């Protein structure tokens, strides 16, 4: 697949295409200044599924459907990610050691986003595996329903996302425009903070339901190839009037101060039935 690397900070310019319900506070500039410490809301117990997500089965026990897109970044070193990824900021990522390494671009997560231009999905699950090069990791994130009109505008992003905060809490949020994202749900990690030199998998799922958007997020620690242990999960329903109901792109990002602190080793997206 042809390598694509585009600076998307020019308004309205798109390369081959045009990224779910998140109101976070999610810049690393935002994480430390624009945003107050996350208060962990207690979602209605009826909305929270505390059972673990198996690495090879759906919540019903049936085999997981095959993802429609997978990238394990097994490519030679490069200043761009290639394989059709669109990078909103040219200098936020590079391929090193067959990983997508987050660089200190001097910009926040809204401008560091990387997405699939061909994927416009509504009901979808995205999963990203991150390797903790250093701690603190400075907030990795995975995104879905990224709105096409927002990714070409500086400091602007509309999406649902799951991100880590202070390496001990994960937040599902709805990102809207240029302001810090609104928290929809949070969970703490079983076993404490993320550890250096480990691989973790972040999952975010969105699905339209009556009266809102169902959102599920989880974090798993990788123990061995194809073997993961879930260390946190939460589910909620976004019923707010400004919830994101239209299809969007899928992708990932990292915050301002995340300079070589984590790398993405695998990304996949799967349609939700």
Cα end-to-end span (Å), the chain: 28
pLDDT value for 28: 35
pLDDT value for 84: 97
250 within some domain: yes
In terms of Cβ atoms closer than 10 Å to its own Cβ (0-12, 13-18, 19+), residue 53 is buried
Residue 188, domain extent? 28-271
Instruction: Check pLDDT > 60 for residue 22.
Output: no
Please report, for the domain that includes residue 192, its CATH number: 2.60.120.200
CB atoms within 10 A of CB 56: 9
In terms of Cβ atoms closer than 10 Å to its own Cβ (0-12, 13-18, 19+), residue 225 is exposed
Instruction: Check pLDDT > 80 for residue 172.
Output: yes
The DSSP secondary structure of 22-72, one letter per residue, reads: -B----HHIIIIISPPPP-----GGG---SPPPTTB-TTSSBPPPPSEEE-
Neighbouring residues of 271: CB distance < 8 A, sequence distance ≥ 6: 65, 68, 121, 123, 124
212 within some domain: yes
80 within some domain: yes
258 within some domain: yes
Instruction: Check pLDDT > 70 for residue 9.
Output: no
Instruction: Check pLDDT > 80 for residue 37.
Output: no
Please choose, from the candidates 265, 271, 1, 2, the residue with its C-alpha nearest in 3D space to the C-alpha of residue 140: 265
67 within some domain: yes
Mean predicted lDDT score pLDDT of the chain? 82
114 within some domain: yes
pLDDT value for 2: 40
18 within some domain: no
The pLDDT of 199-206, averaged and rounded, is 98
pTM for the whole thing?
Answer: 0.79
Query: Cβ distance 32 to 26 under 8 Å?
Result: no
210-254: pLDDT as tens digits: 999 999 999 999 999 999 999 999 999 999 999 999 999 999 999
pLDDT value for 180: 85
154 within some domain: yes
Distances (CA, A) of 38 to 84, 165, 166, 188, 231: 35, 8, 10, 11, 19
Query: What proportion of the chain, given as a percentage, has pLDDT over 90?
Result: 70
pLDDT value for 79: 96
Query: What proportion of the chain, given as a percentage, has pLDDT over 70?
Result: 77
247-263: pLDDT as tens digits: 999 999 999 889 999 99
**Between 127 and 45, where is the model more confident?**
127
pLDDT level of residue 3 (50, 70, 90 thresholds)? very low
**Between 140 and 26, where is the model more confident?**
140
When divided into structural domains, the chain yields a total of: 1
64-88: pLDDT as tens digits: 789 999 999 999 999 999 999 999 9
93-138: pLDDT as tens digits: 999 999 999 999 888 999 999 999 998 999 999 999 999 999 999 8
pLDDT value for 224: 96
Query: Cβ distance 54 to 195 under 8 Å?
Result: no
């Amino acid at each position: 697949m042809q390598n694509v690397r585009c600076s998307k900070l020019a308004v309205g310019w798109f390369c081959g295409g045009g990224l779910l319900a998140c109101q976070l506070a999610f810049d690393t500039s935002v994480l430390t200044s624009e945003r107050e410490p996350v208060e962990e809301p207690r979602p209605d117990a009826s909305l929270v599924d505390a059972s673990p997500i198996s690495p090879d089965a759906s919540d019903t026990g049936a085999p997981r459907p095959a993802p429609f897109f997978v990238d394990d970044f097994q490519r030679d070193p490069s200043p761009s990610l290639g394989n059709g990824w669109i990078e909103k900021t040219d200098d936020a990522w590079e391929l090193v050691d067959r990983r997508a390494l987050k660089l200190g671009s001097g910009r926040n997560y809204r401008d560091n986003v990387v997405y699939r231009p061909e994927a416009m999905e509504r009901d979808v699950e995205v999963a990203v595996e991150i390797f903790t090069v250093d701690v603190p990791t400075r907030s990795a994130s995975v995104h879905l329903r990224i709105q096409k009109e927002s990714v070409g505008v500086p400091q602007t992003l509309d999406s649902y996302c799951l991100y880590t905060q202070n390496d001990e809490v994960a937040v599902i949020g709805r990102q809207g425009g240029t302001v810090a994202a609104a928290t929809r749900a949070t969970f703490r990690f079983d076993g404490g903070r993320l550890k250096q030199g480990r691989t973790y998998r972040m999952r975010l799922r969105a699905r339209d339901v009556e009266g809102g958007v169902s959102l599920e997020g989880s974090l798993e620690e990788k123990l061995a190839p194809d073997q993961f242990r879930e260390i946190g999960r939460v589910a909620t329903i976004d019923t707010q009037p400004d919830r994101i109901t239209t299809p969007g792109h899928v992708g990932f990002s990292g915050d301002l101060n995340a300079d070589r602190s984590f790398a993405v080793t695998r990304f996949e997206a799967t349609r939700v039935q």
